[in-house]
Amino acid sequence: MDILLDTFLMGFPYAILALGVFISYRVLDFADLSCEGTFVLGGATALVMIANGANPWLATLTAFFVGAIGGLITGLLNTKLKINGLLAGIITLTAFFSINLVILGINSDEPFSFATTYSSFRTLKVTVGEDPTIFGLLGNLFSVRKYGVLIELTVILLIILALLYFFFGTEVGMSMRAAGMNKKMARAQGINTDFYVILGLMISNGLIALSAALGAQRDYTISSVSGTGMIVVGLASIIIGEALFGKRSFKNWLISVVLGAIVYYFIIAIALYLGFPSHLLKLLYAILIVLILVLGFLKEKYHWNINLIDRFASLFDKKKKDTLEELPDYPVEDMVRPNFTKENNGSSMLQVRNVKKVFNPSGNKEDIKVALNDLSIDIKEGEFVTIIGGNGSGKSTFINTVSGVYIPEEGIVEINGVDVTKEKEYKRSKYIGRVAQDPYQGTAQNMSVLENMNIAYKRNTKKTLKWGFNKGTTLMFKERLQELNLGLENRLNAKIGLLSGGQRQAVTLLMATIKKPDILFLDEHTAALDPKTASKVLDLTDSIVKNNNLTCVMVTHNMKDAIKYGNRLLMFNNGKIIYDVSGEEKQNLTVEALLKKFEDIDFNDSDVLA
């Protein structure tokens, strides 16, 4: 019984730590080492404030916010100063080591303790018999303080778990998850990835500091080196949770992390109970992590289904019908399908004037690459333009420059009359829909089909803390997916990473056009697909472009496709347009005629597939 009680008392605060580490390492894919500094910062802040008479709940809340400030610093170093994430965390960790010593009022590793450092506080505790920490709320009602502490820790952990589940289901939370899983996709959907990295690191480090504040109040003590190894504890909890309990859904994933922390400390408690030397605990930590990693490897290799939560949840999934009853019913305007009908007046949709893009401009002469050389082009509204050219001719650079991935050294880019030359990539997504060559680039693979569609539908809208789904938009997504004839309307809750490459490209195409863009860019979007699937995706592309009167630019290496699709064809070479054909002349083009155009051009015919 004592082992279980001690396991929960230790495991619950560190489950909160693990949730914080989970946000940085799993949600944001950010290796944040600053957590060992913010851990001590949170515990020290809470204890010092309480020792000086502050309300313990205020002290605990303050610990969260000072931890969040630590995450803010790391995020700014990474996103604004462009310092590598790992190094940014180390810089913050190093700075906090000194700051923590100042807060603790010590110059060594000697533990800070109420009993030894603040004699007035010790007197208060002895004479009055009250617990000055947040655990005094229930701790004084029990003859054994541990029981009251455990109840309060349980309530706090459940509240945090519920808040995180709700948060990551909101528009803001889903945007953060997308920014962590696939930054290219997120920016293409109008998500400011820098903002969400900073916000995520703030929440992550806030939770880590909060866990330390709770642990410090539980034990009445904190040390300047208490944070050592906390990153290992957090990662071990995540790994154990994923290996034993799975991550079938995001909710299950969160629960698995919490249970992983409890299992981790249960193993530690058992080891200590059996007489394992305490000074060798770090060695035990390392051995435990290796064993769990091996278990994960064996599980994948031999397809062991030991994910307890996933297996339990699957029992209910089999009984659950494909229904929308559980989704909130928001106003009817959300149910309206986007109106794609717009008269084509032949005005310019894209104007590129004298654009120059140079890579390695300050390097050696042989390293300088002029990707776009005084490029000018005018694409009319409703035109479907195909672009061909050899490798390195500037095709993809043209798309990336217009999309904001690259900022040109010279020239002007205008979309629908708006100068976007210097505008950031995520802001340009209000005008642009994009599908890349790699099927994995256009979606967030660990998010469901429904979540990916919803992110695209909310492209360039203000993200709120409103729940991310409702019946109206979900019904509209089902209708649009049904048009693909791939059966995806019945797999709304499936992780998009489980779909085939062709299915993912079809969904990405739908995401790019679910809100009519001013211009649709297709950058060799069928190059990674097999011929049969590529043909289906191209036919789907042609149908969507024609039916919705889209202005479209498609880059391809396939001459047959360049001739078959679209009403205008451009040939690029050395960052310039060397051939521009449209109308009847394009319709009468043959592969042989195009090949002749390549005879006097300085690149290999083999670069373009007939």
Q: What is the pLDDT of residues 482-511, one digit of tens each?
A: 988 889 999 999 999 999 999 999 999 999
CB 572 within 8 A of CB 524: no
Query: What is residue 607's DSSP assignment?
Result: G
Q: Whole-angstrom distance between the N-terminal and C-terminal Cα of the chain? A: 74
Q: Is the pLDDT of residue 160 over 50?
A: yes
The tens digit of pLDDT for each residue in 416-428 reads 999 999 999 999 9
CB 377 within 8 A of CB 383: no
Nearest residue to 317 via CA among 470, 494, 446, 171: 494
* Average model confidence (pLDDT) across the chain: 85
Residue 451: Cβ within 10 Å count: 23
The tens digit of pLDDT for each residue in 16-31 reads 999 999 999 999 999 9
CA of residue 571 relative to chain centroid, distance: 37
Q: Which CATH superfamily is domain 348-607 in?
A: P-loop containing nucleotide triphosphate hydrolases (3.40.50.300)
Mean pLDDT, residues 432-461: 92
Measure the CA angle with vertex 570, ends 569 and 572; round to 5°: 155
Has this prediction a pTM greater than 0.85? yes
CA distances from 522 to 111, 160, 190, 318, 372 (A): 61, 42, 17, 38, 19
For the chain, helix (H) and strand (E) counts, in that order, are 24, 12
pLDDT of residue 439: 87
pLDDT of residue 597: 79
d(C-alpha 121, C-alpha 104), whole Å: 15
Integer-rounded Cα Rg, in Å, for the chain is 29
d(C-alpha 528, C-alpha 506), whole Å: 13
The tens digit of pLDDT for each residue in 238-293 reads 988 988 888 878 999 999 999 999 999 888 888 888 888 877 877 887 787 788 77
pLDDT of residue 400: 96
Q: Which residues of 45-79 are buried (b: 16+ CB within 10 A; e: fewer)?
A: bbbbbbbeebebeebbebbbebbbbbbbbbbbbbb
| Calculated CA dihedral for residues 198, 202, 203, 206, nearest 10 degrees | 170
d(C-alpha 393, C-alpha 598), whole Å: 12
Kind of pairing, strands 369-380 and 384-389? unpaired
More confident: 241 or 308: 241
CB 60 within 8 A of CB 46: yes
d(C-alpha 69, C-alpha 202), whole Å: 6
CB 466 within 8 A of CB 171: yes
For tokens 């992550």, name the residue: 204
